[in-house]
Amino acid sequence: MSVVVHVMTVLAEIALAAHLLRTGALALALGCLVVPLLLLSKTRWARVANQVLLAFGAIMWVWVAIDGIGDRIAMGRPFVRMAIILCSVGLVSALCAVGLGLARVRARYA
């Protein structure tokens, strides 16, 4: 379970970095690529930093979905598939943040 949480955490943070890079926020994108490396240090603050980034990412994905839905409705284009994809990515980010708080994972970070 711990391995799954860590792999999904890294993938969620890479997806967040890709989105930020697409919007032109290079420094934030690089930060999203560095934060998962902190998990190698096995310190409590590294786990918490990743949880904060994932929580921010989950909120951001839902915000992007809402914004995109409004744009697509205004243009008269289909929006359901986009909404499902973006909300799913947000849900994965939120679940990874919760997963890093599980007792088994917390025990790894003293």
54-96 tens-digit pLDDT: 999 999 999 999 999 999 999 999 999 999 999 999 999 999 9
Torsion of CA 16, 17, 23, 25, to 10 degrees: 130
Return the closest-CA partner of residue 64 out of 101, 39, 89, 34.
Answer: 89
pTM (2 d.p.): 0.90
Return the closest-CA partner of residue 8 out of 101, 103, 100, 104.
Answer: 100
Specify the pLDDT at position 6.
93
pLDDT digits 0-9 by tens, 36-50: 999 999 899 999 999
Reported confidence tier of residue 35, pLDDT bands at 50, 70, 90: very high
Please, which residues have CB within 8 angstroms of residue 48's CB and are 6 or more apart in sequence? none
- Domain segments of the chain as ranges: 2-108
Percent of the chain scoring above 90 in pLDDT? 89
Please, which residues have CB within 8 angstroms of residue 98's CB and are 6 or more apart in sequence? none
Return the closest-CA partner of residue 5 out of 107, 93, 109.
Answer: 93
- Residue 110 reports pLDDT greater than 80: no
Specify the pLDDT at position 56.
96
Cβ–Cβ contacts within 10 Å for residue 15, how many?
A: 16
